[in-house]
């Protein structure tokens, strides 16, 4: 009886170990799909973000300078030395030291590394670049790439390859974020951006698929329908650059001609169907911030995660930047996805496929 009891105890013991390891593996697979924003200009081993990076093997973090909770304090970026130290602290929390540390550094109106923090802060907008020579463009972008690398940033959520085809567009055209209306010209300028970033070991992301240039609304605020204004030429820059792109960011725009039910970020017809199957892009697909109004006002967190994973997105971005009252924890994201898997609403194979693509992207880092 004692032998039998010991045997059963051993089975239970080792079974518990296997179960625990299985749970940890699943959590890390889920974590490798998540990029989150956090508050703080420095981190330690005790910081929540550091604990999350370690526990879940997070894909990455996204940094911001503007602090929506306290305008008098920086959120993540205060100075060159501080940012360099913060980046090193974040990497120290990472197992493979290849945590994706991301921000939006396009030039013009959108550059997180501002002169007030000691950075150059005067990089030209895409519209400005369109008037420059290739040599001058490359020089400017090399300077940008070096500044990012020196600060420990290894993932720039840029360049914008939307077309400047709607002069009433508030978020692309009016902010000078587009290289122009001609897809080939846009691809040429974007190629110089990619070249300069890659020389410094900085990864990039083309945005915003399948095209935000024709829109009238702002997806930060709410629902934006481009069905009547969008044209297939907006896909051309993505087609031309698909082999050079590290990743592609999907927009929250709704286009009934592609998917009559869901916005692009949550649309399998858009991500898997159009971007992967038709255009042939097999790299990492990252969502625009899933807390933006176009998504958050229409879908619950559980619905958002279910649809985004099912659509074929690889990195789910939660910036924790737009609504200080609705900061979502990494733990909540992981728990919600685990519940979706348990209920059969999310296929673990989709998560494993996404995790593999993210790991390939990270392996390309120096």
Structure token pair of residue 317 = 């971005």
Strand 100-103 and strand 60-62: pairing? parallel
Structure token pair of residue 154 = 């290894």
Say which range, 22-26, 144-148, 356-360, has the weakest mean pLDDT.
Answer: 22-26
- Report residue 328's pLDDT band, with 50, 70 and 90 as the boundaries: very high
* Predicted confidence (pLDDT) per residue in 127-139, tens digit: 999 999 999 999 9
Mean pLDDT for the stretch of residues 2-13: 56
How far, in Å, CA of 127 to CA of 180, rounded?
Answer: 7
pLDDT of residue 216: 77
Is residue 125 a contact partner of residue 173, using CB atoms and an 8 Å limit? no
Is residue 285 a contact partner of residue 270, using CB atoms and an 8 Å limit? no
* Predicted confidence (pLDDT) per residue in 45-64, tens digit: 999 999 999 999 999 999 99
- Report residue 18's pLDDT band, with 50, 70 and 90 as the boundaries: very low
pLDDT of residue 224: 86
Please check the confidence at residue 326 and state whether its pLDDT lies above 90.
Answer: no
CATH class of the 2-363 domain in this structure: alpha beta
Average pLDDT, the chain: 94
How far, in Å, CA of 222 to CA of 220, rounded?
Answer: 6
* Domain regions of the chain by residue span: 2-363
Please check the confidence at residue 312 and state whether its pLDDT lies above 90.
Answer: yes
* Predicted confidence (pLDDT) per residue in 62-96, tens digit: 999 999 999 999 999 999 999 999 999 999 999 99
Is residue 90 a contact partner of residue 50, using CB atoms and an 8 Å limit? yes
Please check the confidence at residue 19 and state whether its pLDDT lies above 50.
Answer: no
* Predicted confidence (pLDDT) per residue in 214-232, tens digit: 887 666 767 789 999 999 9
* Predicted confidence (pLDDT) per residue in 241-255, tens digit: 999 999 999 999 999
Task: Respond yes or no on whether the N-terminal peptide bond of residue 159 is cis (omega within 30° of 0).
Answer: yes
Supply the DSSP symbol for 333: H
pLDDT of residue 1: 55
């Amino acid at each position: 009886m004692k032998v039998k009891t010991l045997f059963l105890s051993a089975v239970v013991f080792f079974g518990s170990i296997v179960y625990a390891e299985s749970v940890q593996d699943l959590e890390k697979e889920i974590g490798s799909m998540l990029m989150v924003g956090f508050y703080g200009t420095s981190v330690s081993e005790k910081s929540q973000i550091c604990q999350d990076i370690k526990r879940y093997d997070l894909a990455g973090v996204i940094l911001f300078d503007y602090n929506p909770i306290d305008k008098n304090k920086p959120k993540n970026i205060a100075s060159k030395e501080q940012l360099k130290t913060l980046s090193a602290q974040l990497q120290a929390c990472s197992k493979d030291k290849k945590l994706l540390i991301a921000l939006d550094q396009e030039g013009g109106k959108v550059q997180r590394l501002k002169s007030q923090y000691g950075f150059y802060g005067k990089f030209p907008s895409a519209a400005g670049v369109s008037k420059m020579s290739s040599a001058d463009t490359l020089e400017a972008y090399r300077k940008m790439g070096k500044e990012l690398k020196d600060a420990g940033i290894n993932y720039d959520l840029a360049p914008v390859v939307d077309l400047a085809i709607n002069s009433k567009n508030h978020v692309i055209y009016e902010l000078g974020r587009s290289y122009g209306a001609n897809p080939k010209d846009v691809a040429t300028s974007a190629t110089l951006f990619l070249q300069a970033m890659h020389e410094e070991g900085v990864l990039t992301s083309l945005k915003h698929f399948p095209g935000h240039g024709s829109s009238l609304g702002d997806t930060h605020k709410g629902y934006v329908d481009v069905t009547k204004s969008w044209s297939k030429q907006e896909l051309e820059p993505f087609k031309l650059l698909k082999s050079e792109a590290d990743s592609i960011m999907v927009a929250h725009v709704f286009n009934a001609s592609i998917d009559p039910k869901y916005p692009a970020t949550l649309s399998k017809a858009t991500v898997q169907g159009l971007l992967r199957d038709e255009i042939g892009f097999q790299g990492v697909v990252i969502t625009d911030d899933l807390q933006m109004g176009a998504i958050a006002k229409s879908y619950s967190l559980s619905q958002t995660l279910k649809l985004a994973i099912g659509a074929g997105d690889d990195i789910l971005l939660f910036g924790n930047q737009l609504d200080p009252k609705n900061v979502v924890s990494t733990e909540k994201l992981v728990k919600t996805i685990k519940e979706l898997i348990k209920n059969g609403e999310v296929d673990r194979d989709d998560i494993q496929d996404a995790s593999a693509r993210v790991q390939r992207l990270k392996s390309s880092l120096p």
